[in-house]
Chains A and B, each alone.
Chain A
Amino acid sequence: MLTDFLLLMKQELLLVAIIFILVFIKLGSKERSNESLLNAINILLLINLIAGIFNSQTGTLFGDMFNTNQLFIFEKNILNFGVLIISLQSYDWLKKHKHLIEFYLLLLSALLGMFLMLSSNNLLMFYLALELSTIPIAALCNFDLEKRKSSEAAFKMIISSAFSSGLLLLGISFFYGTTGTLNFAEIPATLNGNALQIFSFVLLIAGFGFKISAVPFHLWTADVYEGSPISVTSFLSVISKGAVVFVLVSVLYKVFEPLSEYWYTILFLLSLLTMIIGNLFALRQQNMKRFLAFSSIAQVGFILIGISGQSLEGTASVVFFILIYILSNLAAFGVINLVSSKCDKESIGDYKGFYKSNPQLTWVLTIALFSLAGIPPTAGFFGKFFLLMAGAAKNNYLLITVAALNMVIALYYYLRVIKAMFMDANENPIEKIKIPFQPKLAMIICVAGIIILGIYSNCYQYIFSLIK
């Protein structure tokens, strides 16, 4: 029993261990340099990532409350990887920060919440894990302590997520009322599609929609992304979103499979709205963070298309896309993070003539944006192509056509940034930035990943094999 517990919850327990280590360091801390502390934490996170990959077991625990399988383990590894990258990228910002241990405590608690959410096998457990993954982030949003916008972001985040959690909890209560069970394994047999079930299901979907910022549940996104420190923004837009998408896929496919005609319609409507509105807003953003925020909303629309395919390919293409999305988005955020922490410049106009002073960073950002826009042979193209391919299984040509059109609009605004960096002249360009080792390492990993995943194909097949 104890070995089961240790092995099955290995990834969660590792996180808990790191959190405790950090608490002890904090309590016992005298005078320690931030640099060495950050390096130690990064090494811990690396150990955590490596330990998570090897020797994984599958099964259930705690009377069916917690279950894990190969796909979940892989997804958790992706999230671990993303957090490590973010941590490396935040080096420059955090080394000047007074409360860096608290930053990691909150970050890892949220990650723990996501792991539990992925593995939850019960609606109540799911709800608790969701809250655990949300509330620390709201505190993180406030981490630019002297900036007013940062507090505003945290405030908006907590209010909106409280509202969405409230409705989600209402949905779960109604659900329990009609089905009499909260266990994922037992729910499918009790679903009959009556009005109350549909009502509670819509509330549930809205909760998911809030977390992945699908339109019209997305409005908090831009303000929160803009106000938060960039490290938190990238965590929100990449890790948090990725985790919820993973959960959404497995919950919809396994638990709510009998209601698939309803959720297909919901996904269809949401993805249309999300792609269109996300792109239209992204078109005229002047702030890099807001720009990426809206473009990442549009990306969610594409993910929803893949989910709507309702097949093994659907799951595989979504997981594959999230992996690529993490790499591409983090590469972009990495550059923006560095520029912001060194020069405090965030608007697209500031990036004019960026190529002249920082050719390396410009290339990183260009490759990342190409991948986000889905231009072959970057990995992003394959990610999008597979999503569309999975979605095409439903023969919904309207959706595919709108998606294709949105790819062009997206290309337009991504090119706008690239054009500014390469071609526009600027009298007051961003000065030459010296890149510290940690962010450089993170960027190299991301860019290599974007290119390798585009060329080397076994990754998709590996994910596919995990699902069977």
Chain B
Amino acid sequence: MNYASYIFLIPLLPLAGFALLGLFGKKYFNESSGIIATVLILVSTLLSLYTAYNYFIAEGIINGAYPSITAFHTSWLSFSKNLSIDIGILIDPISVMMLIVVTFISLMVHIFSLGYMKGEKRFATYYAFLSLFTFSMLGLIISSNLFQIYIFWELVGVSSFLLIGFYFDKPSAVAASKKAFIVTRFADLGFLIGILLLGYYGESFEFSTLIRQLTDVQSSQSIAITTGTFAGISILTWGLILIFIGGAGKSALFPLHIWLPDAMEGPTPVSALIHAATMVVAGVFLVARLFPIFSLSEIALSVITVVGLSSTFIAAVIACTQTDIKRVLAYSTMSQIGFMMFALGMTGTENTLGYTASLFHLFTHAFFKSLLFLCAGTIIHFIHSNEISAMGGLKKYIPLTHLTFLIACLAIAGIPPFAGFFSKEEILLAAYNSNKLVFGIALLTSGITAFYMFRLYFSIFYNKQMEIQNPHSEGSFSIKFPLVVLAICSIVVGFIPFGNFVAADNKILESHLDFRFSFAPVVIGGLSILLAMYFYKNENDKPNKVASFWGKIYQAAFRKFYVDELYIFITKKIIFNFIGRPAAWIDKNIVDGLVNETARTIEKFSYMIKGIQSGKVQHYLLYFFGGIISLLIVFVYLWK
């Protein structure tokens, strides 16, 4: 099958949309710009599905494995004899899978925004940025070499900067977009140096060549990169860890996650696209893409596991204490990406379930998390506030949102038969087989996940009954349609036999789903939901009930009150103060503080040395002469 004839259209159609809307959108078709962009991305989506059909079904397995096809390749720039920068399109199971995820979610967000962003002054600009982002993300996915992926990686950063800062008259949005850009850019430097190291030693940027040369223990490149050391650790490990830092920055892993909660200042559909399904999973994709090389270094894999695991736990605990609906979802995303990351980190050479599980979770997560964000969008649209305290009893006003939100919550909580159940089970099983401690933490975290998601659910849809005068409707068809589609996906995509399509060695991985094993996680998830229900379903009623019991059975009421208090004490005082608060404090003061402090120190130092620039020529010449003398001192005394 000749993929080259149409595959390049998949990223180029959104690019055409960007060019068209960016240049002429405002003047000629402000109103219709949404439709134009949506139609273009619809065609991309259909082409992606067609590609997937051809790749997985029509062509299928050749010689026992899915082939890696280079659909298009051209040498673009040769730097030196054995190092050149190429442009290519690589088709293999993960890139095809990601094509579907990105185009499909992007399509849903495009449709949703038709209604959601209606009346926005910069409607055309919004769709232009959305198209640019989709183009960059698609380009990133099909890149066939490290250098190309880096360029698209940066483009993704630039376009998300534009989208987060879309409401640029809001100072907080501007600050958030700047923060996101700078933090991820900081991490990208690690990526860049990692690319330099791997490229220099591996003598190629091309994934296939690089993987072939480095996994062959006999090759000169492999010997050079494993025997060369810096600070006692091999260059290979350094390169991989640096690349992982780049991935961790984009994927908002601890401690590089600080930009993600702030990035919620962007329009909500943007969060559904960028911060749920696409950009934030780029790090997972990157590690998966280079996995054959990562599997060569035990240390690098351990780093990935530790970072992934700590992110997943810390984020889940913080999510329990947040009161802004989008921030809860942001931390939950961080936590779920942590799941994907540590699943990759635990994948060994024999047991490759973790790899499949990680990408499976990436796949299912994309659907239910973007659904959650879109629901949050309609809720915020309805209430005009992000705060949970301003919500309550919304079930009767926005029934469709309620239903779809519930499905997404069940999916993320890992309740069968929703999508999240299947992928999370695989991750837990992979963890169980590889390390019991990791498994324990993962199990606990999945319980916390169910708790905070249902805390959100009950606080929004039950809890206090709000009386809303003249409630406006839930939204137009274009808002409801994506919710329904994504809800259906959140139910059914779990049944896809993912192991048949994506595996570390591109062969078929037998699914190991064992329902006896699933018992514990599901029960823990169910109990967490009940706990959340107990606290948040009727929170405002409890004081009233207690008051009515005052006269009759004082003691019982007191005891009940006491138990209530105890529970509240445990969650609010102990969990919140001793775990949630410190976690938030570390987040705010140490991680954030470190960044701010560095900036302040640099600035202070900059003022300190200001004295040198005095404006007096004789001083300048003195420094000039001093420079010469110091250089001479270096050579005469220190050199030999």
- A interface vs B, CB < 8 Å? 155-156, 159-160, 163-164, 167, 195, 198-199, 202-203, 205-206, 209-210, 215-217, 219-220, 222-223, 262, 265-266, 269, 277, 280-281, 283-284, 312-313, 375-377, 381, 385-386, 388-389, 392-393, 397, 400-401, 404-405, 407-409, 411-412, 415, 419, 422-423, 457, 460-461
Contact = CB atoms under 8 A, between A and B. Distances in A.
A408 B613 contact: no
Nearest to B636: A195
10 contacts: A216-B624, A216-B626, A262-B635, A262-B639, A265-B635, A312-B80, A381-B154, A397-B230, A415-B178, A415-B182
Contact of A219 (B603, B619, B632): B619
A284 B626 contact: no
B623 A280 contact: no
B621 interface: yes
Interface string B597-640: 00100110111011011010101110111111011101110010
Instruction: Indicate the size class of the contact surface on chain B.
Output: 35 or more
A404 B192 contact: yes
B178 A419 contact: yes
Contact of B627 (A217, A284, A385, A422): A217
Interface stretch (B40-48, B71-79, B507-515, B553-561): B71-79
Given A206-B627, A216-B627, A388-B196, A376 B154 contact: yes
Contact of A283 (B76, B79, B606, B630): B606
B209 to A, nearest CB: 18
Nearest to B626: A216
Contacts of A266: 631
Given A385-B192, A389-B200, 15 more contacts: A160-B620, A167-B628, A198-B632, A198-B636, A203-B628, A219-B613, A262-B635, A269-B631, A376-B150, A376-B154, A381-B154, A401-B193, A404-B189, A408-B182, A415-B182
A222 B185 contact: no
B233 to A, nearest CB: 12
B158 interface: yes
B174 A423 contact: yes
Contact of B609 (A163, A277, A400, A409): A277
Contacts of A386: 79
A240 to B, nearest CB: 18
A392 B192 contact: no
Contacts of A205: 631
Contacts of B80: 312-313
A375 B632 contact: no
Nearest to B161: A415
A372 B612 CA distance: 26
Contacts of B151: 376-377
B181 interface: yes
A223 to B, nearest CB: 6
B99 to A, nearest CB: 22
B61 interface: no
Nearest to B606: A280
A283 B196 contact: no
B124 to A, nearest CB: 15
B567 interface: no
Interface of B: 76-80, 85, 150-151, 154-155, 158, 165, 168, 174, 178, 181-182, 185-186, 189, 192-193, 196, 200, 230, 599, 602-603, 605-607, 609-610, 612-613, 615, 617, 619-621, 623-628, 630-632, 634-636, 639
B192 to A, nearest CB: 7
B631 A411 contact: no
Contacts of B630: 216
A156 B193 contact: no
B636 A216 contact: no
B612 A219 contact: yes
Contacts of A269: 631, 634
A241 B610 CA distance: 24
Contact of A392 (B185, B200, B610): B200
A231 B622 CA distance: 29
Nearest to B152: A376
Contact of A423 (B158, B168, B181, B185): B168
Nearest to B189: A404
Contact of A206 (B619, B624, B634): B624
A205 B196 CA distance: 30
B77 A461 contact: yes
A284 B189 contact: no
A467 B76 CA distance: 20
B224 to A, nearest CB: 11
A265 B192 CA distance: 25
Greatest chain B CB density within 10 A among A202, A313, A405 is at A202
A269 B632 CA distance: 12
A79 to B, nearest CB: 25
B311 to A, nearest CB: 22
A209 B620 CA distance: 14
B200 A163 contact: no
Nearest to B193: A404
Contacts of A284: 603, 606-607
Contact of A265 (B150, B230, B613, B639): B639
A265 B635 CA distance: 9
A37 B607 CA distance: 47
Contacts of B627: 206, 209, 215-217
A383 to B, nearest CB: 13
A416 to B, nearest CB: 9
A313 B178 contact: no
A201 B609 CA distance: 29
Nearest to B629: A202
Q: Which 10 A-B pairs have the closest CB atoms?
A: A457-B77, A219-B620, A216-B627, A404-B189, A280-B606, A376-B151, A376-B154, A206-B628, A202-B631, A216-B623
A210 B617 CA distance: 14
A162 to B, nearest CB: 10
A405 B189 contact: yes
Contacts of B609: 277, 280-281
A386 B603 CA distance: 30
A313 B624 contact: no
Contacts of A423: 165, 168, 174
A415 B606 CA distance: 18
Given A223-B615, A266-B631, A400 B196 contact: yes
B182 A160 contact: no
B189 A265 contact: no
A457 B603 contact: no
B624 A265 contact: no
A280 B602 contact: yes
B617 A160 contact: yes
A210 B624 contact: yes
Greatest chain B CB density within 10 A among A167, A215, A216, A222 is at A216
Contacts of A419: 174, 178
Contacts of B620: 156, 160, 219-220
Nearest to A162: B621
Contacts of B626: 216
A280 B196 contact: no
A164 B621 CA distance: 9
A412 B540 CA distance: 48
B609 to A, nearest CB: 7
Contacts of A312: 80
Contacts of A408: 182, 185-186, 189
Contacts of B150: 376
B77 A163 contact: no
Contact of B602 (A210, A216, A409, A422): A409
A330 B639 CA distance: 41
Contacts of B603: 283-284
A163 B628 contact: no
A198 B635 contact: yes
Nearest to B612: A219
A386 B199 CA distance: 13
A262 B632 CA distance: 11
Contacts of A400: 193, 196
A265 B76 contact: no
Nearest to A424: B174
